[in-house]
Structure formats: structure tokens, C-alpha cells
Structure 1
Amino acid sequence: MATSIPNPKFSSHSRSISLPSSSHPLIVTAEEHLQKLKSSEGASSTSHSLACQKLDGLKNLYECLDDVLQLPLSQQALSNERLGTWEEEVLDGSLRLLDICGALRDIYLQTKESVQELQSSLRRKRSGNLDNEVCSYMICKKNLNKMISKCCKELKKAEKNCNLAVVNKDCAVLNLIKEVQVVSLPVLESVLSFLSGSKAGSHPRGWFLVSKLLQQKRASQGGDSSTAAIEQIEIQLHLLNKNKSNKDVLEKLEGVDSSIEELAEVLEIVFRLLLKTRVSLLNIVNH
């Protein structure tokens, strides 16, 4: 089993489930997925590969959690818990995660649309003044920044309110659900960071961006750049204004678009799994 690497941001929440050796194999498998995600919390890079790795790990974790919730022993264990001791906290947590993941999914879809519209404009207009095309993208980006800023605030609020206090140390299923909710937050934050960088709305401008890209070029050989996707787009637009060829810019934009699309597809799957988990929890509460 992987060893957890403490993340200062979430260190106050770190706690082992300490499942008994007789736990159901599905619960043990879920804990293994959980520990793998915990071990990646210390990595704060905004690279595409790391964001994909974390999000795919979250997808696997929720697939396993849903299987756990379908077990009669899990449903019985949760039903035996005294009413009111866990429903509000766990259900509130599931709703928060669903809202944040939904907002993040919408941000990715809108970013993908704006990048593809920009690519289409550049293909149609091979030469000449491209100010109108760039201006259209920047208008879309302004709206994106508002969405990103709101999502960041919701993530911070969720992190602050997330409580990993153990309701019943003997209820492994309940403890598992709560730990899964806690570990989901830094994963979603890393996916947002790949798109927007560490601080939404505070991206560098002009040739400082170009310099940043050139400095990272050597380091990124053999792997993807740690420059956030929106920053990569702005770099290419700046180069376009400096008479960089449309063809070169289009090639770079296609790479960014491919990265965004890959994460958007997994985000959609995770969103549906979060919804499925919430429905399962509501069914247990109501029966």
C-alpha cells in the first residue's frame, strides 16, 4: 500500500481508516485507491499528465465506492447508525462536491469551445490583421475568469468546511465515505490549476509569458509543460501579434485543445459518478 505524503493544506484532515483484516475485499480495494490519491497530494505541478493521473485515480475511487455502497453489509452498517449523526454532514459534502465538479466541467467545456472557435478563425484567415479574432477570444476569457474565480472560492469554502471527525470509529464504510470526500477536493483543485494556474485571474502578460515558456521548454522535454493551459493560449496569441505564423500557433493550440478535451471527458465521468454516489446515499437514508 502506498505511503501517504502529507499535504500542508490538508494535513489537519489526514487520518487512516484502520480497517480490520476481515473487511470486505471491495472496501480494502477502495482504501488502496484512496491511499494512492493521498500519496499524490504533495505534488502541486500544473502539468497535464499529473492532472490526468489524479482525476483518473478519483474516477477509479468513486467507481469502487459505488460498488461498496451497493453491498448489503454497507447499507446495513449505515442504516444502523443513529439518525441525524451522519446524514447531514455526508450528504452536504456530496452535494458540495457535485456542485464544484459540475462548475469545473462547465469551465472546461466553455474553454474548449473558445479555443476551437479561435482555431477555426485562424484557419479561415491565414494572413492579415487578426485583432478581431484575438479580441473575440479575450472576451470569452473574461467570462471564463469569472467562472474560475467563483469555482476557486467554492473550493476554498469546501476545504474550510470539510470535517473529517470520525462519527463512529467502528463504521469503516462511513469513515471511507468521509475520507473520499476529503481527498476529492485537492484533486479537483489540481484539475482547475492545470487550466488556470495557481491564481486565477492573475496571469502574467506579454513577453514575460513568452520568457516563461522558453524557460520551461528544456525542463518539459520528455514531458508536458507545467504552464497552465490558459497561459499557453495567451503565449501563442502574443506570438501571433508578433508575426508568428498561423500554422505554428495552430499546432500549439491543437495540443492545448487535446489536453483540455481529455480532462473534460474524464470530468464528465467523475461528475456522473458523484451523482450516482449521492443517489445511493439518499436511497440508503430513505430506506
Structure 2
Amino acid sequence: MVGVFRRSFSFPNKTPAKPSLSHHVRSISLPCRSHPLIFQLKDEIANLNSWSLNSDPRTAAWICDGLSRLKTVHNHLDDILNLPQTQESLRRHHHWIDKLLEHFLRFVDVYGIFQTLILTLKEEHSAAQVAMRRRDQEKIALYVKSRKRLARQMAKLVSTVQKKPKITVQGQGGVTPDLAAVIEEVIRVTMTVSLAVFNGIAESFGTRKVWTWTGLDRVSKKMKKSAEEEKGIKEFREIGSENLRELKKKGKEETRIEMKKMRDLEDWITDIESESQRVFRSLISARVSLLNALSQQQELQK
């Protein structure tokens, strides 16, 4: 009886319970662990979200900062897309890659058009400064018209960014949830920054609405008009069409102030052009990485 008791008492202690549990935990956790680059990208996206929630007046510096942050986000995404494990994961989902490529192509096209428009604005802005020094009202009037035309073209870019439905990338088998979610977030913040830039310039140069009111609507309409005048980018908005048209009526000091604003704005236009060009290149780079994954998948199928 004693021997049986000893055998039944000691047998459970020989069972390797802990090694079995440890092996089980490793088999579940390791394949699901996110790459450190994904955490870095999430931090950059969070910074960009904070930027978009800034309630201060929209300025050219704010726009440049947003474009710079967006470029950093896409650079991080490109690094992730070039990881061997990411390429292997993407190669099994060519239909999903096709949708992402379409989305990135839209952004590339939009920023390509924006590059052309901002370069045209820069040239016309420089010509307008010469016209201001010569007090050539006819050429200044042409510049005012060109700004309105630019506002309409920027509004079209806004519509292009908005009209496409959002691509949902989650739920793809074989793709980690973190990777799918972070790509969706990159697409979302790209739309946010793009709309801020394009809509900001469109509102700055667009024709002001003429508000009419009578009686009890007077105060309400005034408030709406004030809100309308605050739209756009501060440095762009400060050089109003009315001020340019009435240049001949201004004295030397007023003209000097307006010309300084024009020089400052030219510098900001150059900065926006440079930052948007960096975004354009980062978008192309990320799209090329997606194309590489797709081409490798097609080669494997041959």
C-alpha cells in the first residue's frame, strides 16, 4: 500500500507541465508580433493626426509641416513594404495589391497635377511682383484672374480626392491585422493632408461670396461672412484681390507693405512646392514597392 501511494504521489511531479506551456505560448505569440517599423509608423500617423486637429489659423508653415510629416509617413510605409516578410505576405493577395495600386496611383496623379499648378502659380506670382513695381494694373488684373482659375483647379483636385470610395484593406488572410490597419490609416491621413492643402489654396484664392441680408438675418449673415473670410491659408488670404486691383490708389508705404507680402508669399510657395515634391516622390516609391510584390507574385505563377 505504501509503495502504491509513493508511485501515485511522485508521478504527477515528473510531468513536464511548464515546458509544454512555454512551448504553447511561443507558438501563438511569435507569428503575430508586429515589426518595430510598424510601431514607428503608427507614431508618425499619430503625430499627423495631432497636426490635423490643430485649431490655430491655417498658415503656410502649417501646410509645409503637414506635407513634411506626410512624406515621413510614406517613407516609413515604403520601408515596411520592402521587408521580406511583407513582400511574402503581399504576394499571396494580388487582388488586394491591385486595389492599393489604384489608390496610390490616384494620389500620384493628383500630386503630379498639383506640382504643375504650383509651378504655374510661382511663375505668375513673380510676374505680378514686376507688374506691381511698374504699377501695371492690366497685368495685375491678369494675375488676379489666374488666381481664380487656380482656385477652380484646386477645387477639382479636392473633388478627385473625395469622390473615390475608401478602400478597406482589413480582413485579408495571411496579412497581419496591424499591417492591414496601418496601410488603411496611411491612406486616410494622405487624404486628410491633401484636402487641407488643396482646399486651403482654393479657399484663399476663390471668389468671396457676397452675403445679402435684411432684418433679423443681419447678425447671422455677418457671422457667416466673417467665418468665410477666415477660410484658406493666412499668407495667401492676406493678399486679397481687392488690394491688388486698387494698387494705384495706394501710397508708397502701403505699396511697400503689399510688395513685402508678395515676396514672403513667393518664399512660402517655393517651400510648399518643395515639400509637395517630396511627398510625390515618396508616393511613387511606395507604389513601386507594391508593384514589385505584384510582379514577383506573377513570376511565381508562371
Give TM class, smaller chain: 0.7 to 0.9
The residue type equivalent to 1:74 in the other structure is T
Partner of 1:192: 198
1:267 to 2:279 alignment: no
CA contact (8 A) 1:78 1:173 kept: no
CA contact (8 A) 2:129 2:262 kept: yes
TM-superposed deviation, 1:69: 1.4
1:47 to 2:59 alignment: yes
Instruction: Give structure 1 stretches of 5+ with no counterpart.
Output: 1-19, 217-224
The residue type equivalent to 1:121 in the other structure is A
Distance 2:101 2:209 in 1: 40
Instruction: Give structure 2 stretches of 5+ with no counterpart.
Output: 1-30, 211-221, 297-302
Distance 1:63 1:35 in 2: 15
Distance 2:250 2:125 in 1: 20
Distance 1:134 1:260 in 2: 18
Count of residue pairs brought into register by the alignment: 245
The superposition leaves residues 172-206 of structure 1 with CA deviations (integer Å, 9 ceiling, x where unpaired) of 333322220111011011112332327x734358x
TM-superposed deviation, 1:231: 5.6
Give the alignment partner of residue 201 of structure 1, picking from 202, 206, 215. 206
In terms of fraction of residues, the more helix-rich structure is 2
Partner of 1:107: 117
Distance 2:242 2:37 in 1: 46
RMSD of equivalent CA atoms: 2.9
TM-score, length basis structure 1: 0.75
Equivalences for 1:18-167 in 2 at 5 Å? 22-43=33-54, 45-81=57-93, 83-84=94-95, 86-123=96-133, 125=134, 130-158=136-164, 161-164=165-168, 166-167=170-171
Partner of 2:249: 242
CA contact (8 A) 2:155 2:199 kept: no
1:256 to 2:268 alignment: no
Partner of 1:4: none
Higher gyration radius (CA) = 2
TM-score, length basis structure 2: 0.72
Kindly report structure 1 stretches of 4+ aligned residues shifted beyond 6 Å.
none
